Amino acid sequence: LPQPDFPDASTAIYSGGTKTSLTLHAPTPIRSTCGLSKARLQCTTAKALPAVSTVEAQCLDPSNLLAELTLGEKMSQILKDQTDQLTKNVENFSQYMTQDTFLSQGNYLVFNQLKRYLNVLESNYLTAREEHHHLQLQNYKDKSINVGEFDPERKVEGEIFRLGMLLEDLQEQTDDSNCNLSSLPASYESAHSSYSLCE
């Protein structure tokens, strides 16, 4: 799976002489192997989004709670953790924005970074769901792996949708209160984001 085309971001936001720093980590795709004789997941925690890149056997340690889950449940849990962390970041940013009446360049960049991370998370979800489906088909033939169910009640999918709605609400709030991005140089804006808050 391709890696996100943007690095982790740390942005300082200035408001009324005070500085607030927000560090965002991109969600990374869940990877598994096609010959899954054992589930491989990399269990890491980070301050922002947990990294879930090259899925390795660390989760097979019996002391780890994820070790007892099926592959589908592990994939769902990792995406849930990423979604929860991104939701916290969006809620923190939203709370900050309610205190700040002007959309500064830093705020604009953080907002767009959150939107990009949501897009990566949505893509990760769809990719994991598709991969899980392929594993189910493979398992149907050789029945050697307990694939389990992926997001059986669609809770993770619902949370990702809710997160998208939070970002849309935040965008509407900033559009209503401050649609003055003319202070951003066009080259700066296009170099850092493909989104526009004033559409």
The whole-number pLDDT of residue 21 equals 52
| 43 alpha-carbon distance from chain centroid | 16
pTM of the model: 0.61
pLDDT value of position 8: 52
Q: Residue 170: what pLDDT? A: 87
Average pLDDT of span 38-51: 34
Angstrom distance (rounded) from CA 83 to CA 99: 24
Q: What integer pLDDT is reported at residue 22 of this predicted model?
A: 54
Burial of 199 (0-12, 13-18, 19+ CB in 10 A): exposed
- For the stretch 86-115, pLDDT in tens is 999 999 998 888 777 666 778 888 999 999
State the Cα torsion 157-162-165-171 to the nearest 10°.
Answer: -110
Q: How far apart are CA 110 and CA 115, in angstroms?
A: 9
Q: Are strands 18-24 and 9-15 parallel, antiparallel or unpaired?
A: antiparallel
Note the helical H segments in the chain.
Answer: 71-99, 105-142, 155-177, 186-192
pLDDT tens digits, one per residue of 118-137: 999 999 999 999 999 999 88
Which is more confidently placed, 102 or 139? Answer: 139
pLDDT of residue 146: 80
Query: Closest by alpha carbon to 89, among 167, 37, 165?
Result: 167
* 8 Å CB contact between 82 and 122: no
pLDDT over 90 at 116, yes or no: yes
Give the Cα separation of 156 and 167 in Å (integer).
Answer: 17
- Distance between CA atoms of residues 137 and 6, nearest Å: 33
Residue 33 has pLDDT above 70, yes or no: no
Quote the pLDDT of residue 108: 82
Q: Tell me what pLDDT residue 35 has.
A: 37
Report which DSSP code applies to 58. G
Distance in angstroms (rounded) separating the CA atoms of residues 93 and 98 = 9
Instruction: Please give the pLDDT value at position 5.
Output: 43
Residue 80 pLDDT more than 80? Answer: yes
Q: What does the pLDDT read at residue 102?
A: 63
pLDDT at site 103: 65
